[in-house]
A and B are shown apart, each in its own frame.
Chain A
Protein backbone atom coordinates (compact mmCIF):
# COMPACT_ATOMS: atom_id res chain seq x y z
CA UNK A 1 0.00 0.00 0.00
CA UNK A 2 1.55 3.29 -1.14
CA UNK A 3 1.26 5.97 1.52
CA UNK A 4 -0.83 9.00 0.51
CA UNK A 5 2.02 11.53 0.20
CA UNK A 6 3.73 9.21 -2.27
CA UNK A 7 0.88 8.55 -4.65
CA UNK A 8 1.99 10.73 -7.55
CA UNK A 9 3.90 10.05 -10.80
CA UNK A 10 7.33 11.41 -9.83
CA UNK A 11 7.49 9.33 -6.66
CA UNK A 12 6.67 6.26 -8.73
CA UNK A 13 9.48 7.27 -11.12
CA UNK A 14 11.79 7.55 -8.09
CA UNK A 15 10.92 4.15 -6.66
CA UNK A 16 11.22 2.54 -10.10
CA UNK A 17 14.70 4.08 -10.45
CA UNK A 18 15.70 2.85 -7.01
CA UNK A 19 14.37 -0.69 -7.41
CA UNK A 20 15.84 -1.07 -10.91
CA UNK A 21 19.20 0.27 -9.71
CA UNK A 22 19.24 -2.07 -6.72
CA UNK A 23 18.26 -5.08 -8.81
CA UNK A 24 20.87 -4.32 -11.49
CA UNK A 25 23.58 -3.84 -8.86
CA UNK A 26 22.72 -7.21 -7.35
CA UNK A 27 22.67 -8.86 -10.78
CA UNK A 28 26.09 -7.47 -11.79
CA UNK A 29 28.27 -9.88 -9.74
CA UNK A 30 26.36 -12.84 -11.23
CA UNK A 31 26.77 -11.40 -14.74
CA UNK A 32 30.52 -10.90 -14.24
CA UNK A 33 31.02 -14.29 -12.65
CA UNK A 34 29.22 -16.16 -15.46
CA UNK A 35 31.28 -14.33 -18.10
CA UNK A 36 34.54 -15.10 -16.33
CA UNK A 37 33.70 -18.81 -16.62
CA UNK A 38 35.05 -18.29 -20.14
CA UNK A 39 38.49 -18.51 -18.47
CA UNK A 40 37.90 -21.46 -16.20
CA UNK A 41 34.97 -23.62 -17.25
CA UNK A 42 33.60 -23.03 -20.71
CA UNK A 43 31.31 -26.04 -20.57
CA UNK A 44 29.59 -24.66 -17.54
CA UNK A 45 29.30 -21.27 -19.25
CA UNK A 46 27.66 -22.87 -22.29
CA UNK A 47 25.40 -24.70 -19.88
CA UNK A 48 24.27 -21.34 -18.46
CA UNK A 49 23.89 -19.85 -21.92
CA UNK A 50 21.75 -22.82 -22.95
CA UNK A 51 19.47 -22.04 -20.03
CA UNK A 52 18.51 -18.79 -21.79
CA UNK A 53 16.42 -20.87 -24.19
CA UNK A 54 14.16 -21.72 -21.26
CA UNK A 55 10.94 -19.66 -21.26
CA UNK A 56 11.18 -18.73 -17.59
CA UNK A 57 14.78 -17.57 -17.96
CA UNK A 58 13.72 -15.60 -21.06
CA UNK A 59 11.12 -13.82 -18.97
CA UNK A 60 13.74 -13.06 -16.33
CA UNK A 61 15.99 -11.67 -19.06
CA UNK A 62 13.11 -9.57 -20.31
CA UNK A 63 12.81 -8.22 -16.78
CA UNK A 64 16.51 -7.36 -16.69
CA UNK A 65 16.38 -5.60 -20.06
CA UNK A 66 13.38 -3.59 -18.87
CA UNK A 67 15.14 -2.68 -15.61
CA UNK A 68 18.26 -1.56 -17.50
CA UNK A 69 16.21 0.47 -19.98
CA UNK A 70 14.02 2.06 -17.33
CA UNK A 71 17.09 2.91 -15.21
CA UNK A 72 18.93 4.60 -18.06
CA UNK A 73 15.99 6.56 -19.45
CA UNK A 74 14.84 7.55 -15.97
CA UNK A 75 18.44 8.55 -15.26
CA UNK A 76 18.69 10.60 -18.45
CA UNK A 77 15.53 12.41 -17.38
CA UNK A 78 17.15 13.31 -14.05
CA UNK A 79 20.38 14.43 -15.75
CA UNK A 80 18.37 16.60 -18.13
CA UNK A 81 16.41 18.11 -15.25
CA UNK A 82 19.56 18.92 -13.31
CA UNK A 83 21.93 20.05 -16.04
CA UNK A 84 20.15 21.26 -19.16
CA UNK A 85 18.15 22.65 -17.17
CA UNK A 86 14.97 21.19 -18.45
CA UNK A 87 12.53 21.29 -15.64
CA UNK A 88 8.99 21.54 -16.92
CA UNK A 89 6.78 18.57 -17.82
CA UNK A 90 8.69 16.13 -15.60
CA UNK A 91 5.68 13.83 -15.35
CA UNK A 92 5.47 13.54 -19.13
CA UNK A 93 9.22 12.91 -19.33
CA UNK A 94 9.00 10.20 -16.67
CA UNK A 95 6.12 8.55 -18.52
CA UNK A 96 8.08 8.75 -21.78
CA UNK A 97 11.08 7.07 -20.11
CA UNK A 98 8.89 4.15 -19.10
CA UNK A 99 7.29 4.04 -22.55
CA UNK A 100 10.65 3.83 -24.33
CA UNK A 101 11.76 1.12 -21.88
CA UNK A 102 8.69 -0.97 -22.65
CA UNK A 103 9.38 -0.51 -26.36
CA UNK A 104 12.99 -1.64 -25.98
CA UNK A 105 12.24 -4.64 -23.79
CA UNK A 106 9.39 -5.53 -26.16
CA UNK A 107 11.85 -5.52 -29.06
CA UNK A 108 14.11 -7.75 -27.00
CA UNK A 109 11.28 -10.20 -26.37
CA UNK A 110 10.36 -10.37 -30.05
CA UNK A 111 13.99 -11.06 -30.95
CA UNK A 112 14.48 -13.57 -28.17
CA UNK A 113 11.51 -15.83 -28.88
Chain B
Protein backbone atom coordinates (compact mmCIF):
# COMPACT_ATOMS: atom_id res chain seq x y z
CA UNK B 1 0.00 0.00 0.00
CA UNK B 2 1.49 3.31 -1.05
CA UNK B 3 0.70 6.85 -0.02
CA UNK B 4 2.30 9.96 -1.50
CA UNK B 5 5.43 9.86 0.68
CA UNK B 6 6.24 6.21 0.04
CA UNK B 7 5.58 6.77 -3.67
CA UNK B 8 8.00 9.71 -3.71
CA UNK B 9 10.65 7.70 -1.87
CA UNK B 10 10.21 4.88 -4.37
CA UNK B 11 10.57 7.17 -7.40
CA UNK B 12 13.39 9.20 -5.81
CA UNK B 13 15.42 6.08 -5.00
CA UNK B 14 14.76 4.88 -8.56
CA UNK B 15 16.08 8.15 -10.00
CA UNK B 16 19.19 7.97 -7.82
CA UNK B 17 19.80 4.39 -8.89
CA UNK B 18 19.20 4.86 -12.62
CA UNK B 19 22.77 6.02 -13.46
CA UNK B 20 24.23 3.70 -10.81
CA UNK B 21 22.56 0.62 -12.31
CA UNK B 22 23.68 1.54 -15.81
CA UNK B 23 27.23 1.91 -14.44
CA UNK B 24 26.87 -1.38 -12.54
CA UNK B 25 25.81 -3.18 -15.73
CA UNK B 26 28.86 -1.74 -17.52
CA UNK B 27 31.19 -2.84 -14.70
CA UNK B 28 29.64 -6.32 -14.69
CA UNK B 29 30.22 -6.72 -18.41
CA UNK B 30 33.78 -5.39 -18.24
CA UNK B 31 34.76 -7.24 -15.07
CA UNK B 32 33.46 -10.62 -16.19
CA UNK B 33 35.77 -10.72 -19.24
CA UNK B 34 38.80 -12.05 -17.43
CA UNK B 35 37.01 -14.02 -14.74
CA UNK B 36 36.28 -12.84 -11.21
CA UNK B 37 38.69 -13.11 -8.28
CA UNK B 38 38.72 -11.36 -4.94
CA UNK B 39 42.02 -9.76 -5.86
CA UNK B 40 40.65 -8.36 -9.10
CA UNK B 41 37.68 -6.84 -7.23
CA UNK B 42 39.89 -5.32 -4.53
CA UNK B 43 42.36 -3.86 -7.04
CA UNK B 44 39.48 -1.88 -8.44
CA UNK B 45 37.76 -0.77 -5.26
CA UNK B 46 40.05 -0.93 -2.23
CA UNK B 47 40.97 2.41 -0.72
CA UNK B 48 38.82 4.33 -3.16
CA UNK B 49 36.67 7.01 -1.57
CA UNK B 50 34.65 7.42 -4.79
CA UNK B 51 33.80 3.74 -5.16
CA UNK B 52 32.80 3.73 -1.48
CA UNK B 53 30.59 6.79 -1.97
CA UNK B 54 29.08 5.36 -5.15
CA UNK B 55 28.36 1.93 -3.72
CA UNK B 56 27.27 3.48 -0.40
CA UNK B 57 24.68 5.60 -2.18
CA UNK B 58 23.64 2.55 -4.18
CA UNK B 59 23.12 0.52 -0.99
CA UNK B 60 20.97 3.23 0.67
CA UNK B 61 18.85 3.69 -2.46
CA UNK B 62 18.38 -0.02 -3.14
CA UNK B 63 17.44 -0.72 0.49
CA UNK B 64 14.71 1.92 0.33
CA UNK B 65 13.55 0.79 -3.12
CA UNK B 66 13.47 -2.93 -2.34
CA UNK B 67 11.78 -2.41 1.04
CA UNK B 68 8.94 -0.40 -0.51
CA UNK B 69 8.65 -2.75 -3.49
CA UNK B 70 8.43 -5.84 -1.30
CA UNK B 71 5.96 -4.00 0.98
CA UNK B 72 3.60 -3.55 -1.96
CA UNK B 73 3.89 -7.18 -3.05
CA UNK B 74 3.36 -8.46 0.50
CA UNK B 75 0.34 -6.18 0.99
CA UNK B 76 -1.30 -7.14 -2.29
CA UNK B 77 -0.68 -10.87 -2.14
CA UNK B 78 -0.52 -11.73 1.58
CA UNK B 79 -2.91 -8.95 2.76
CA UNK B 80 -0.59 -7.92 5.57
CA UNK B 81 -1.33 -4.37 6.77
CA UNK B 82 -0.96 -1.80 9.56
CA UNK B 83 1.77 -2.26 12.15
CA UNK B 84 2.87 -5.65 10.80
CA UNK B 85 3.30 -4.24 7.28
CA UNK B 86 5.23 -1.19 8.54
CA UNK B 87 7.45 -3.35 10.73
CA UNK B 88 8.22 -5.66 7.83
CA UNK B 89 9.07 -2.69 5.58
CA UNK B 90 11.49 -1.33 8.19
CA UNK B 91 13.00 -4.76 8.83
CA UNK B 92 13.69 -5.27 5.11
CA UNK B 93 15.16 -1.78 4.82
CA UNK B 94 17.44 -2.16 7.86
CA UNK B 95 18.47 -5.72 6.96
CA UNK B 96 19.46 -4.79 3.42
CA UNK B 97 21.09 -1.55 4.58
CA UNK B 98 23.36 -3.21 7.14
CA UNK B 99 24.27 -6.15 4.91
CA UNK B 100 24.94 -3.75 2.05
CA UNK B 101 26.99 -1.36 4.17
CA UNK B 102 29.10 -4.29 5.37
CA UNK B 103 29.68 -5.42 1.78
CA UNK B 104 30.75 -1.91 0.74
CA UNK B 105 33.10 -1.76 3.72
CA UNK B 106 34.49 -5.15 2.79
CA UNK B 107 35.45 -4.19 -0.76
CA UNK B 108 36.59 -0.59 -0.21
CA UNK B 109 38.18 -0.24 3.25
CA UNK B 110 41.98 -0.33 3.34
CA UNK B 111 43.44 -2.99 5.58
CA UNK B 112 40.08 -4.62 6.16
CA UNK B 113 41.44 -7.89 4.89
Contacts and interface: CB of A to CB of B under 8 A. Distances in A.
Interface of A: 18, 21-22, 24-25, 28-29, 31-33, 35-39, 42, 45-46, 49, 52-53, 61, 65, 68-69, 72, 75-76, 79, 82-83, 104, 107-108, 111-112
B95 A29 contact: yes
A68 B21 contact: yes
Given A38-B38, A38-B106, A49-B38, A111 B33 contact: yes
Contacts of A37: 106
Given A33-B103, A42-B38, A111-B33, 19 more contacts: A22-B69, A25-B69, A25-B70, A25-B92, A32-B103, A35-B106, A35-B107, A36-B102, A37-B106, A38-B112, A38-B113, A39-B105, A39-B106, A49-B37, A68-B24, A75-B18, A104-B25, A107-B29, A111-B30
Please classify the interface of chain B as helix (H, G, I), strand (E, B), loop, or mixed, using the class held by over half of its residues.
helix
Interface residues of B, number: 37
Contacts of B96: 28-29, 32
Contacts of A46: 37-38
Contact of A36 (B11, B42, B69, B103): B103
Nearest to B41: A38
Interface string B5-22: 000000100110110011
B66 interface: yes
Nearest to A45: B38
A111 B32 contact: yes
A36 B41 CA distance: 12
5 contacts: A25-B66, A32-B102, A72-B18, A104-B29, A108-B25
B35 interface: yes
